[in-house]
Every structure is written in C-alpha cells, then in structure tokens.
Amino acid sequence: MSDLSLFELSGRKALVTGGAVGIGRGCALALARAGADVAVVDRDAAAGSQTAQEIQALGVQSLFVACDVTDKTQVQAMVDQVVAKFGRLDVAVNNAGIAILGADEELDQAAWDQVVAVNLTGAFLCAQAEAQQMIRQSPTGGKIINIASMSATIANCNASYDASKAGVVHMTKTLAAEWGRFNINVNCISPSYVLTPMHASTPLVVRERIRQLTPLGHVQRPEDLHGAVIFLASAAADYVTGLDLMVDGGHTLNAWLTPLSRAVPPRVSPEEETVQLKHDLQVLGWPCDAEGINPEVHPEIAEAFKAAFGVKE
Ligand SMILES: NC(=O)c1ccc[n+]([C@@H]2O[C@H](COP(=O)([O-])OP(=O)(O)OC[C@H]3O[C@@H](n4cnc5c(N)ncnc54)[C@H](O)[C@@H]3O)[C@@H](O)[C@H]2O)c1
C-alpha cells in the first residue's frame, strides 16, 4: 500500500465553520475532493447552501447548517445536526472569523468584543462541542483544525484581530495538550493575506506590494491552503498536534531585499489569484470589477493596508 493513502479521507465526516465563501469554502471543497463528507456551517444561509450543493456535486454527502459561532446553544445544535446526518464527526475546521480594523486608540469596545467573540470565543465554543463528540467516539478521536493567521505572530492588523488570532494559536496548543489523551489532534493553520471577500476592497497597488514582499511571488489564494488542511485532517498528521502551520508563501520571513531580486516567475499569475475571489463575490451578489475589486465591501480594511504601505490613490 502506498504511503499516499495516508492522505485519503474517504468515509471521514467533516465540518467547516465559515464555510460559505473564502478560505472556509476552499477547505470544505478540498476535504470533499479528498473523499470526506463535509458539512458547511455559516451564518450566511444563501451562500452556505450553494457551497453545500457544490460539495454534493462532487459525489460526497453534504449539508448546510446555519449557525452563529458566538452562540453556544447554536454551536451545540450545529454539532448535533452534523452528527445526526453523518453519524459521527472526524474532522472539524474552525474557520469563521472577522476583522474590524481601525485605530486602536479610538476603537469601540463593541468592535473589540465582536472580533474576540467570533475569532476566539467562537473557535473555543466550536472546539469544545466538537471535542465532546469526538470523546464520545473514543478511541478513534478526531482532528480539530483552527484557522489562525500570521497576525498571531507578527503585529499586522489591529489589536483586536491580532490578539484574537494569537489567542487561537495558544488555545490550540493548550487544547492539543489536554485532548491528546482522547486521540484528538488540535492544530492550526496561519495564512498570510488571502484574496477572499474579506479583502475585496484592496486596490491593485497594495496587492502588488504584497507580491513583492512574498518570496513565492503571488498573493495567496484559498487554494494555497488545500494541501495544509488535507494534511492536518488526515492520518498523515496522526502524530502532529499543537502545531501552528504557517502557510504564507514566505511572507513572514520578512525578507526585505531577497524578493526584489527574484529571478523565477511566480507559479500563479495575477489573473489566477482572483478566480475564487470573483466566484465568491458573485455568490454573495457583490458586484466587482475585472480585478475582483469592490471598494464598498470592507473599505476600512483596504484603508489600513493603504496606510501601512503609504499608498495614496
Ligand atoms: N483573508 C485573509 O487574508 C486571512 C488571512 C489569515 C487568516 N484569515 C482567517 O481565515 C478565516 C476566513 O477568512 P476569509 O478571508 O475567508 O473571510 P471571509 O470574510 O471571506 O469569509 C468568512 C466566512 O465566515 C462567516 N462568518 C463570519 N462570522 C461568522 C459567525 N459569527 N458565525 C458563522 N459564520 C461566520 C461569513 O459568513 C463568511 O462566510 C478567518 O478566521 C480569518 O480571520 C484570513
């Protein structure tokens, strides 16, 4: 038997929170293509149902579950609904997350509370309910994968976002230490800057700066995370726990000079970078231009990037 069968997910039962669009949709499709049945969990019923249909079209089972991850009762009901459909839960990707950027010296407490509630408390509530199910399935356990961010490691966005993601990384390590005895692996993935609806307002000049600062030479797409999520969901990662897997094209290497002398062209063209972004914006019904830009979506995020790079338009 080939060692490649370690990555096989046929028969595994998975859920992905925030799975309607963006990174979550990418993870859900990747798990499904590797053979898993995948539940799409999101607060956006229209987009989430569409992603669940896409997954079914791949020949595996899927369902959409409406859930706000900040609500413990909804989270428990969500896990119950997934288990009622699939019979068990083997893999859970806790991806739902938001950013509310702005100057920290003026930030509303409500904005801080909301970001922490979704990114950190939401990930904990989901992990807890998922782990309870996985413990009931003992000794088979399961795989919990939290989507953190490079912002956990570098000071990147603002305090609420960066601190919530640093919390996700450390929570991952603590839960990994606690739940190893149940054969539950808890890991997280830290992307860099990914072209999803979260970043639909970012102007081209900012994307170009990010390319220049990324040794692998293209802006990250949801697809660039597929291998990492399949690995951590699979038997290939049976002895891996508490890991923060940085998937960033080398962005956080912080190589000031090296990328500028890059001789090899990137594997992905600027047009290919935006394929999933444009798909997601269409699903959400948010119009965009040929570059996948809609200045109305999250203008404050785009402003933060422009300010960081000193971009004037
Ligand atoms: N895009 C990036 O550059 C980037 C980089 C690093 C980490 N991340 C993280 O990856 C995750 C996904 O980001 P994305 O860029 O795909 O975001 P996105 O805004 O494009 O999509 C987020 C999805 O989560 C859902 N969601 C938001 N709040 C929810 C809640 N309370 N309950 C249930 N669903 C909820 C949304 O409806 C949406 O479908 C987030 O945790 C984000 O912080 C993103």
Helix then strand then coil, % of the chain, to nearest 5:
50, 15, 35
The Cα–Cα gap between 159 and 191 comes to 18
- pLDDT, position 256: 79
Q: Residue 187 forms beta bridges with which residues?
A: 145
How far apart, in Å, are the Cα atoms of 305 and each of 61, 135, 193, 209, 255? 39, 43, 11, 10, 19
Strand residue runs (E) in the chain: 13-17, 37-42, 62-66, 91-94, 142-147, 184-191, 244-247
Distance between Cα 21 and ligand 1 center (Å): 8
Mapped onto helix, strand or coil, the DSSP state of residue 269 is coil
CB 251 within 8 A of CB 150: yes
Distance between Cα 260 and ligand 1 center (Å): 31
Give the pLDDT of the chain (313 residues) as one tens digit per residue.
Answer: 688 899 999 999 999 999 999 999 999 999 999 999 999 999 999 999 999 999 999 999 999 999 999 999 999 999 999 999 999 999 999 999 999 988 899 999 999 999 999 999 999 999 999 999 999 998 999 999 999 999 999 998 899 999 999 999 999 999 999 999 999 999 999 999 999 999 999 999 999 999 988 999 999 999 999 999 999 999 999 999 999 999 999 999 988 777 666 677 889 999 999 999 999 999 999 999 999 999 998 888 888 888 888 887 6
What are the domain boundaries of the chain? 3-196+220-250
CB 110 within 8 A of CB 55: no
Ligand 1 mutation target, pool 74, 94, 95, 193, most atoms within 8 A of CB: 95
Give domain 3-196+220-250's CATH number out of 3.40.50.720, 3.30.70.20, 3.30.360.10, 3.40.50.1970. Answer: 3.40.50.720
Q: Is the pTM of this model over 0.95?
A: yes
Query: To which residue do tokens 């904990």 refer?
Result: 124
- 239 has catalytic annotation: no
